[in-house]
Structure 1
């Protein structure tokens, strides 16, 4: 599966209720090294899911920027969650299905800053 096939895809909880859409992915560079040396490969660690608009994110949905700008971004996006791959039950042609309900999701703001 290609990355652009995930972006914008609807996300539903275990009860098939819409949670939001995929706006971004979190990559970790800890994959296997290529033959002959080089840098480790990237892998998808999780998905960033927004409640209302799966649009391009510029960092203001997190801990960055002036409070007023962050408030405006959150008013447009709604809730923003981080969805680890372990929380995904399956990916279908129509949606990404979760193992949990909406209440089990972690807010992106609650992740450690790095």
Structure 2
């Protein structure tokens, strides 16, 4: 599966209720070194899920930019969550299914400066 196939895909919680859609993928560069490579490989650490609209994120959903602009972005997107890769039960052609309930998801802004 390619990462762009995840973008926009609906996300369902452990009860099968729609949470939102995948808006972004968080990568961490801590994988093994490939032969001849100068940098560690990337791995998927988690997904950024938005409640209302899976759209391109410009950083304003985090702690970046003027408060008024962030408020407008949050009004359009609704809730924005960070979903660790371990919280995914399975990925089907129709949706990303979680092991947890919506109420247990971690808001993106609770991450320490997104990383």
Structure 1 runs not aligned, ≥5 long: none
Q: How does 1:11-90 map to 2 (within 5 A)?
A: 11-90=11-90
Residue 102 of structure 1 is matched in structure 2 by: 102
Runs of 4+ in 1 over 6 A off after TM superposition: none
SS of match in other structure, 1:73:
helix
**Could you tell me which residue of structure 2 aligns to residue 2 of structure 1?**
2
CA distance in 1, matches of 2:32, 2:69: 39
Distance 1:93 1:36 in 2: 35
The 1-side partners of 2:59 and 2:110 are apart by 14
Structure (1/2) with the larger strand percentage: 2
TM-score normalised to the size of structure 1?
A: 0.97
Aligned residues between the structures = 114
Once the two structures are superposed, residues 40-64 of structure 1 have per-residue CA deviations (whole angstroms, 9 ceiling, x without a partner) of 1111100000000000000000000
Give the distance between the partners of 1:36 and 1:112, measured in 2 at CA.
33
Task: Tell me, in whole angstroms, the C-alpha distance in 2 between the residues paired with 1:18 and 1:112.
Answer: 27
What is the alpha-carbon root mean square deviation over aligned residues?
A: 0.8
TM-score, reference length from structure 2: 0.97
Q: Which runs of 5+ in 2 are unaligned?
A: none
Partners of 2:28 and 2:108 lie apart in 1 by: 16
